[in-house]
Amino acid sequence: MSENRPGVTARAPAKVNLLLQVGPLRDDGFHDLVTVFQAVSLHEDVTATPADTWGITVEGAGGTDVSGVPLDGRNLALRAARLLAERAGVEEPVHLHVRKEVPVAGGMAGGSADAAAALVACDALWQLRTGLDGLAALGADLGSDVPFGLHGRTAVGTGRGEQLVPVLTRGAFHWVFVLDDTGLSTPRVFAECDRQRGPGWTGPGADGRLEAVEAALRDGDPRALAAALSNDLADAACALAPQLTRTLDAGRAAGALGAVVSGSGPTVALLAESATAARDVAAVLAPVVGEGRLRTASGPAVGARVLEAVA
């Protein structure tokens, strides 16, 4: 009986975009990107257990508010499991349990991490041995950020963000993330970016931003990386959520080396000199923004992997 078989748990990381260069709107509704993703040590754990019907439960960990997570066929983890089953000809439903540490709709790709972890957990449960490239191809059909959730570490993303090349990095980078209560819709932020640019805008051109980020990562130099952080969606995110400008300023005033909006926001990522410095920045910010809105983490973190088999 399927109910007696053990489940499989997989873990996948959140991400921050160290560089997010947004090109023109394409005919398919996406934008060409040049981005540098870094996976960080905030995680999603997804447990897949054989069941009589498809289902999902979600639990918030470390104070994560999961009220915005859909529990129906729109859930990215459930969509991922069903897509893998369909492509592999598996007819065994699973129940998924998601333990979320990553803020919802925060620009840190928590939903994509859920999809990545669900793919890895179900692939192991069903003993499919699909391989990373095969899972990443499936993941790209679910969302542009899903392949990076599978790969993890640090990578340059091109196309709509799904084409990945690893980046050489030295050492660890230490982050403070400032969460915001208002979730920002990714398509809305891209649309606001287009609106701000206007119809005559033709492209960002070559400006050396990618090379500066790559050099800082290769040297393991947090000061150089802080100076090189940039996000073309930041102005759009700040227009839709004006309080983010104050959060960026407060982060710099609290001693962060650099501050950037994470992806389409509204989470703000602050880079610190060391793990101790990150804790100090968080301690200075706690009375300003509230302790519950702060998370410290380090990167690069590894991509989606099986954690354990549960009895």
Ligand X SMILES: C[C@@](CO)(OP(=O)(O)O)[C@H](O)COP(=O)(O)OP(=O)(O)OC[C@H]1O[C@@H](n2ccc(N)nc2=O)[C@H](O)[C@@H]1O
| Euclidean distance between CA atoms 232 and 106, whole angstroms | 16
Count of positions on this chain that bind ligand ADP (CB under 6 A):
21
Radius of gyration of the CA atoms of the chain, in A: 19
Q: Which of 77, 122, 213, 217 binds ligand ADP (CB under 6 A)?
A: 77
Among the listed residues 70, 187, 203, 220, the single contact to ligand ADP using CB under 6 A: 70
E-assigned strands of 51-170? 55-60, 94-100, 154-158, 163-166
Look at residue 293 and give the partner it binds from ligand ADP, ligand X, none, a contact being a CB closer than 5 to 8 Å depending on partner kind. none
Site membership for ligand X, residue 139 (CB under 6 A): no
The residue with tokens 């040590």 is: 41
User: Would you call 145 a catalytic residue per the annotation?
Assistant: yes
Q: Give the contact letters, 207-246, x = binds to ligand ADP (CB under 6 A), - = no.
A: ----------------------------------------
Among 8, 109, 135, 216, indicate the residue that binds ligand ADP (CB under 6 A). 109
For the chain, helix, strand, coil in percent to 5 are: 35, 30, 35
CA dihedral (216, 217, 219, 221) in degrees, to 10, reads 60
Toward ligand X, which CB reaches closer, 145 or 214? Answer: 145
CA distance 135 to 288: 42
Q: Which residues pair with 157 in a beta bridge?
A: 35, 164
Residues recognised as catalytic: 15, 145
Residues that bind ligand X (CB under 6 A): 17, 20, 29-31, 33, 35, 107, 109, 112, 143-145, 160-161, 186-187, 190, 263-264
Residues that bind ligand ADP (CB under 6 A): 68-70, 74-77, 104-112, 114, 183, 186, 263-264
